Structure 1
Amino acid sequence: MMKKNFLYFTVMAIAVSLGSCKKELDTNPQERITLDNYYKTQADAFTGLVAIYDRFAFQSGGLYDKSAIMDVASDDQLAGGGSSGDINDLQVMQNYTLNASTGPHGYLWNRGYSGIFRANVLLSKIDAIPMDAALKARYIAETKAMRAAFYFDLVTFFKNVPLIEGVVEIGDIYNITQAPPASIYAYVEKDLNDAIPNLPNTVPAATEGGRLTKGAAQALLGKVLLYEKKWQAAADQFAVVNGTAPGVSPSVYGYKLYPVFGDLWKPANKFNSESIIEFVHSSKSNGNWSAAGNSEGNLLSITTGPRGYSKVLSTAPDYFSGYSFLVFTKDFFDFIHKDPRNAATVANLDSLQTNGIAKYTPGYNNTGYFFAKYMGLTTQAAATIPELNFGIDEYEIRLADTYLMEAEALMNAGAAVGAGSRAYILLNAVRARVGLNPVAVTQDNIEKERRLELAGEGQRFPDLVRWGKAAATLKFKGFIAGRHEVFPIPQNELNNTKLEQNKEWGGTK
């Protein structure tokens, strides 16, 4: 994600082109910016690209993002907050009381299709823009890779979604219909395969950190193929990303497990050797409460912090007082408690308070076990409106994730999994990084490792769904088999359109 300051004119172009039909009698046409007269220069193309990145890492003005939704949907975390109605979209996700009109799925739909709209606009205009051919090819590749990511999320979450390949005229918007999921997956694969050759192997972190690379697109393609159960094809993509000697030497793209697990979430370690797709946040964007979702700060840093936190002893952790969302369950705490990743993952506020080290005010769903990875510290806080301007980045995909996905793909493809096999090396490289002994490559061990390693990173719920284990695991939260594996199509998208509700939600699709 790049600075939203670049987005103003692109957003204005979209707004003007989709504006009212009244005659602009009082407007100087030389001052108007439209889609037809905007995309003329290389600078315009770059601004359009930034606009797509903006949707890629978009956070809701309701103070949550995709990762937060997936976290509260899982068995490991609860919504928390100040009350049962605090950030209601997360509360209804936690309890599985969402419906077509209420819940966070509207954000997911809008994030995806606004990103696809921006991608389609740029792709429709960029061929006519005079600019360096190699740079143009890169912009197109980045755009297609992000469009693929948007579609992958949409088909994963909603199953039956429209396939919009170009810029849709206003009069045709209400006539769009849904495509078969297989068509969406095929389109995602094609976009990623088109993109990979024209993306750079690496980017300079200081000036282009967060932009997509070959490895990022290949990792995403591997994940898409994994979700399609195309096991060997997925493993082949991951093999390039993960390298010939996982856990020992860097891959061709320079990826290597970061040596200290807990340091992955320090702002000083942005764009480290483990980061593959990273959503960039800044402490300098001056985000404010007039449009909290437009802040470049990481909103998880404030929402996950403990309410009313204060130190009793000077040795107490330096947590910034927050809103107590996404607390871990007692079951998860018991699961991770003796694992070396516990301290970097869980902040045990009850222990701190019981031992007279610090104080906090228990919130709703309080368990005392807080999500530590993205939690803000006072030493990281920005000078102005600190709660909205924490600069801790989020990982969309990191190397430990791709190691575990490749091991899973190899196992399901029928490859060797015994000691010394590639699947065995991949799984146990993740464990060795935190000082754990090797284990056998089994479905159960892969599931356990993903739960421990990726806790709070938005992976648990999609994992449970694709493994067919969501209904049994999430029954205690109200999950209904045959319904909650997908989200309902938002009601606003159904009104006066040809879209059909998913059959899981009473529709016909």
Structure 2
Amino acid sequence: MKTRYFIYTGVVLLGVGSIVASCKKSFLELTPQGEFLEANYYSTPAQALTAVVAAYDPLVTETGGLDNTYSDPLGALNAGSDDCYAGGGSSSDMSTWQAMNNYTMTSATGPQGEFWSINFQGVNRADVLLEKLPGVPGLSADVLKRYTAEGHFLRAHYYFDLVRLFKNVPLILTTLQINDVYKQPQASPDSVYAHVEADLTAAIAGLPTTVASTENGRVTKGAAIALLGKVYLYEKKWALAASTLAQVNGTPGGTSTYGYKLQASYGDIFSPKNKFNSESIFELVHSGNQNYTWNNWDQFKSNIYVQMVGPRSYKGPIYYGAGYGFNPITPNLVAAMKGDPRYPYTIANIDSIAKANNVTYEQSYQGSGYYIEKFAPKVANIVTTGSTDLNWPNDYIEIRLADTYLMEAEALVNAGGDIGRATSLLNAVRSRVGLAAETASLDNIYKERRLELATEGHRWFDLVRWGQAPTALAFKGFKSGVNEILPIPLTETLNGTQIKQNPGY
């Protein structure tokens, strides 16, 4: 079976119409225009904008991978961490997440197919965009500059995920003819990181500082700087990471040059009624107004993960709608957060709620009685369009200010830099929720990152980059020297391709 998922070559079709249809009511509203041959598509400024939308689209893809299964990345990442289990209805429910949870991944089993295919789809769309934009008639210089910057940011974003997850990936910076698809070798991680840095550096110059409310979700200069600082952190370029993140953070606890400021109330950060708040640096848009039903399987741009993590068969007068019971909280995280002011905004104690309020629900597989609160399917957020299960409006804030504060503090400590500033950054995060001040040490910063960012998809990456995963995840079967990265999908290594499987798989 010669199916390759790392490249969706632009020489056949640019599926813009279906992409735009699925993005409708998101950060851009365009009229679906059908499918077009890529060779003759980029002929107007309107078509160029549609192609920009297409390049963003994989960021909020809810279905994909080798078998087009449900594929929100938070599910697998949380399942692989010590914050959550896979959960669901049984040990075979969402088998990709179960394999990540138990570290039983093989080249054929696990979430790698969805991570690989969705991110490489994004790479290809960004490649096509960057190649075609200069030739679009009627595109003003300013608009060309912005669209090009967005293309660079998006390609960097997709490759940053790929190199963190797989380490050994092909580096594809141009569109390929179909005969060349099978000839692409893996690049060194250093060369991938270098191109991620280059793309982000190129993006920063062309991006706006702010966007209009009608464009919320499009990348800004601050988001590109923040992502570049995060990339430097992963490369352990501590001084560069600190100085880059400082541009975004400004004075700890104050309002930065880019307008970012910690929210006064921790719980307000995650409310779908408070989208694009002052703490949001890069936010992935989900709409609850698209009338989705199960007939729209491959088009969802609402937040299906909200439905996935709700308590199963929940029936009662208050708080929650019934969900599917995925990613129940581990006793490990419950114990770590007990007494922390962020606990009630992070963890829902469904057992206690059920006992106190005449509520019934079905315990999940691996269920602990504790479930994710930040993305819970709350009755207050239910919309009346389409199937309730499929139209949750919750956005996902991928980068927020408390995260960049703690990243800069970590970089400063590792660099032997300004410990006073690192302490101020740490304590701005703590004081927001009424916690006493602490000195900035790596241990204190590591602890704060877990409590502040729990269930937001950062924990697995943090444990791996800190070298703590083998110990912290031993209870799940994590294998040192193997599970720090995912296996390459089996189909990518067959039929004479140049792709080699990652060690241990």
**Normalising by the residue count of structure 1, what TM-score does the alignment of the two structures yield?**
0.90
AA partner of residue 492 (structure 1)? T
Give the Cα separation in 1 of the matches to 2:155 and 2:421.
32
Equivalent position of 2:399 in the other structure: 397
- Per the alignment, in what secondary structure is the counterpart of residue 77 of structure 1? coil
- 1:79 Cα shift? 0.7
Give the Cα separation in 1 of the matches to 2:17 and 2:373.
40
Deviations 1:204-251 (A, max 9, x none): 22x0001100000000000000000000001111001001x111x211
Q: Residues 330 and 367 of structure 1 are in contact (CA less than 8 Å); yes or no, is this contact kept in structure 2?
A: yes
Equivalent position of 1:78 in the other structure: 85
- 1:155 Cα shift? 0.5
Equivalent position of 2:31 in the other structure: none
Give the one of 45, 55, 72 matched to 1:52. 55
- 1:497 Cα shift? 4.1
- 1:32 Cα shift? 7.9
- 1:137 Cα shift? 0.5
Aligned runs of 1:117-266 on 2, under 5 Å?
A: 117-130=124-137, 131-205=139-213, 207-243=214-250, 245-247=251-253, 249-266=254-271
Q: Residues 310 and 323 of structure 2 are in contact (CA less than 8 Å); yes or no, is this contact kept in structure 1?
A: yes
- 1:502 Cα shift? 3.8
Aligned runs of 1:7-26 on 2, under 5 Å?
A: 10-11=14-15
Q: Residues 76 and 86 of structure 2 are in contact (CA less than 8 Å); yes or no, is this contact kept in structure 1?
A: no
Give the Cα separation in 1 of the matches to 2:452 and 2:497.
42
AA partner of residue 110 (structure 1)? S
Cα 1:39–1:307 shift into 2, 3 Å: same
AA partner of residue 454 (structure 1)? L
Give the Cα separation in 2 of the matches to 1:278 and 1:396.
6
Equivalent position of 1:481 in the other structure: 480
Q: Residues 14 and 35 of structure 2 are in contact (CA less than 8 Å); yes or no, is this contact kept in structure 1?
A: no
Determine if the alignment matches structure 1 residue 462 to structure 2 residue 461. yes
Equivalent position of 1:370 in the other structure: 371
Give the Cα separation in 2 of the matches to 1:478 and 1:251.
43
- 1:66 Cα shift? 1.6
Give the one of 393, 406, 410 matched to 1:408. 410
Give the Cα separation in 2 of the matches to 1:367 and 1:412.
37
- 1:33 Cα shift? 2.7
Q: Residues 274 and 400 of structure 1 are in contact (CA less than 8 Å); yes or no, is this contact kept in structure 2?
A: yes
Give the Cα separation in 2 of the matches to 1:192 and 1:32.
30
- 1:49 Cα shift? 0.5
- 1:356 Cα shift? 4.2
Give the Cα separation in 1 of the matches to 2:87 and 2:491.
28
AA partner of residue 123 (structure 1)? L
Give the Cα separation in 2 of the matches to 1:453 and 1:505.
33
Deviations 1:282-332 (A, max 9, x none): 011222223435211101110011111122xx5x4x201000111101121
Give the Cα separation in 1 of the matches to 2:225 and 2:215.
19
AA partner of residue 129 (structure 1)? V
List runs of 5+ in structure 2 lacking aligned partners.
1-12, 20-33
List runs of 5+ in structure 1 lacking aligned partners.
1-8, 16-30
Equivalent position of 1:387 in the other structure: 389
- 1:64 Cα shift? 3.6
Q: Residues 328 and 364 of structure 2 are in contact (CA less than 8 Å); yes or no, is this contact kept in structure 1?
A: no
Determine if the alignment matches structure 1 residue 452 to structure 2 residue 451. yes
Q: Residues 16 and 54 of structure 2 are in contact (CA less than 8 Å); yes or no, is this contact kept in structure 1?
A: no
Q: Residues 64 and 299 of structure 1 are in contact (CA less than 8 Å); yes or no, is this contact kept in structure 2?
A: no
- Per the alignment, in what secondary structure is the counterpart of residue 277 of structure 1? strand
Determine if the alignment matches structure 1 residue 99 to structure 2 residue 106. yes
Give the Cα separation in 2 of the matches to 1:124 and 1:303.
38
**Structure 1 stretches of 4+ moved >4 Å:** 12-15
Deviations 1:13-65 (A, max 9, x none): 899xxxxxxxxxxxxxxx98311111111111101000011112222253341
User: Number of residue pairs matched?
Assistant: 473
Determine if the alignment matches structure 1 residue 66 to structure 2 residue 73. yes
- Per the alignment, in what secondary structure is the counterpart of residue 142 of structure 1? helix
Q: Residues 62 and 293 of structure 1 are in contact (CA less than 8 Å); yes or no, is this contact kept in structure 2?
A: no
Q: Residues 10 and 47 of structure 1 are in contact (CA less than 8 Å); yes or no, is this contact kept in structure 2?
A: no
Give the Cα separation in 1 of the matches to 2:94 and 2:324.
10
- Per the alignment, in what secondary structure is the counterpart of residue 290 of structure 2? coil
Give the Cα separation in 1 of the matches to 2:285 and 2:175.
28
Give the one of 257, 260, 280 matched to 1:275. 280
Deviations 1:477-505 (A, max 9, x none): 01001100011110111112433334423
Deviations 1:238-297 (A, max 9, x none): 001001x111x2111100001110011111110110001111000112222234352111
Give the Cα separation in 2 of the matches to 1:32 and 1:332.
47
Give the Cα separation in 2 of the matches to 1:423 and 1:32.
51
- Per the alignment, in what secondary structure is the counterpart of residue 327 of structure 2? strand
Equivalent position of 1:38 in the other structure: 41
- Per the alignment, in what secondary structure is the counterpart of residue 399 of structure 2? strand
Cα 1:174–1:500 shift into 2, 3 Å: closer
Q: Residues 306 and 323 of structure 1 are in contact (CA less than 8 Å); yes or no, is this contact kept in structure 2?
A: yes
RMSD value over aligned CA atoms?
1.6
AA partner of residue 447 (structure 1)? Y
Cα 1:159–1:32 shift into 2, 3 Å: closer
Give the Cα separation in 1 of the matches to 2:482 and 2:497.
22
**Normalising by the residue count of structure 2, what TM-score does the alignment of the two structures yield?**
0.91
